[in-house]
């Protein structure tokens, strides 16, 4: 109850501010995050240096600065999403090739839509307004209850339904005929129990295989959303098919295609990925890498 009151008294009024003011706040936050407190700068620089060994220190420093500017903008954009109108959100977030999702819906297919922590993944909250199918997002609750409640509100504003990670398998298996698009942000660092190893951004990397296994078990189609940033606060998301039936794909194929699409997305504009994330905190055995 207290968190709900705080959101209404504090977050909601702030979200009503014009974006020009919120971006001014983002510029101030950039100074504190990058220059004063150096928030995870060592992690960011290390991640970028290992991911782009062809770049020298000056280039890495330039990319790092641009990333922190986008990173601070991202927080203000998500804050704005708390109260943004549908019309405004659709002006800022455009999706292309959504006819692919509509065709899969007409064919009676569930769809697993894969994304990474790239550009502004929370912009997927407006996707239900672009397609026929209902949209559900798979999530793990945040440890900070206040942040968790804020993000849940942002994601559900335009009709996205939320499904806890630990219940999603049972839900999809028991609702195979629901014809839903399920959103997975699938680039988190998995546990060491993950069996899929590959090279991602020049580094041995573990990836979740849960989305692939779920697609195989439910014969779901799989797509990837390729984000681009077209301006400050403006994004496009292109729907790229990966598989029309997860059960027909050889093991590892869907996950590897996702890895390749995500890496291509990152290389297209390398400041837009979430470089503060300790993605490679777990070591992998190079002899076990699958190509």
- Domains held by the chain: number: 1
Domain assignment present for residue 93? The answer is yes
Domain assignment present for residue 215? The answer is yes
Domain assignment present for residue 51? The answer is no
Domain assignment present for residue 26? The answer is no
Q: At what angle do helices 145-156 and 57-81 cross, to 10 degrees?
A: 70
pLDDT at 103: 98
pLDDT at 73: 98
Domain assignment present for residue 46? The answer is no
pLDDT at 193: 61
Question: What are 275's two structure tokens?
Answer: 């470089």
Neighbours of 3 (CB within 10 A): 13
Q: For the chain, give percent helix, strand, coil, nearest 5.
A: 50, 20, 30
pLDDT by 10s per residue, the chain, length 291:
566 676 777 889 999 999 999 999 999 999 999 999 999 999 999 999 999 999 999 999 999 999 999 999 999 999 999 999 999 999 999 999 999 999 999 999 999 999 999 999 999 999 999 999 999 999 888 788 888 888 999 999 999 999 998 888 888 888 878 899 999 999 988 866 667 999 999 999 999 998 999 999 999 999 999 999 999 999 999 999 999 999 999 999 999 999 999 999 999 999 999 999 988 876 544 444 443
Domain assignment present for residue 4? The answer is no
pLDDT at 113: 98
- Residue 197 in 3-state DSSP? strand
**Residue 104 vs residues 92, 100, 109, 130, 186: alpha-carbon distances, Å:** 26, 6, 5, 14, 21
Q: Domain span at residue 173?
A: 86-288
Domain assignment present for residue 259? The answer is yes
Q: Is the distance from CB of 117 to CB of 273 less than 8 angstroms?
A: yes
pLDDT at 288: 44
Best CA proximity match to 257, nearest among 202, 204, 196: 196
pLDDT at 178: 86
Domain assignment present for residue 157? The answer is yes
């Amino acid at each position: 109850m207290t968190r709900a009151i705080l959101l209404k008294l504090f977050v909601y009024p702030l979200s009503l501010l014009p974006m020009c003011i919120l971006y001014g706040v983002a510029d101030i936050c950039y100074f504190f995050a990058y220059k004063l407190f150096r928030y995870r700068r060592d992690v960011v620089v290390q991640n970028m240096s290992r991911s782009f060994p062809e770049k020298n220190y000056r280039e890495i420093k330039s990319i790092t600065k641009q990333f922190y500017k986008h990173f601070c903008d991202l927080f203000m954009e998500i804050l704005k999403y708390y109260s943004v109108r549908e019309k405004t959100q659709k002006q800022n977030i455009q999706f292309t090739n959504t006819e692919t999702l509509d065709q899969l819906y007409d064919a009676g297919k569930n769809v697993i839509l894969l994304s990474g922590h790239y550009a502004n993944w929370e912009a997927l909250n407006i996707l239900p307004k672009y397609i026929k199918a209902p949209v559900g997002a798979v999530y793990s609750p945040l440890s900070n209850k206040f942040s968790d409640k804020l993000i849940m509100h942002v994601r559900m504003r335009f009709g996205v339904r939320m499904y806890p990670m630990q219940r999603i398998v049972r839900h999809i298996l028991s609702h195979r005929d629901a014809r839903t698009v399920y959103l997975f942000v699938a680039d988190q660092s998995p546990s060491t129990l993950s069996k899929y190893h590959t090279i991602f951004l020049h580094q041995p990397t573990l990836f979740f295989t849960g989305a692939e296994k779920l697609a195989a078990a439910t014969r779901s189609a799989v797509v990837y959303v390729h984000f681009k940033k077209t301006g400050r606060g403006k994004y496009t998301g292109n729907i790229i098919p990966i598989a029309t039936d997860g059960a027909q794909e050889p093991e590892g194929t869907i996950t590897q295609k996702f890895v390749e699409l995500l890496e291509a997305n990152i290389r297209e504009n390398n400041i837009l990925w979430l470089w503060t994330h300790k993605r490679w905190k777990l070591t992998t055995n190079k002899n076990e890498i699958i190509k």
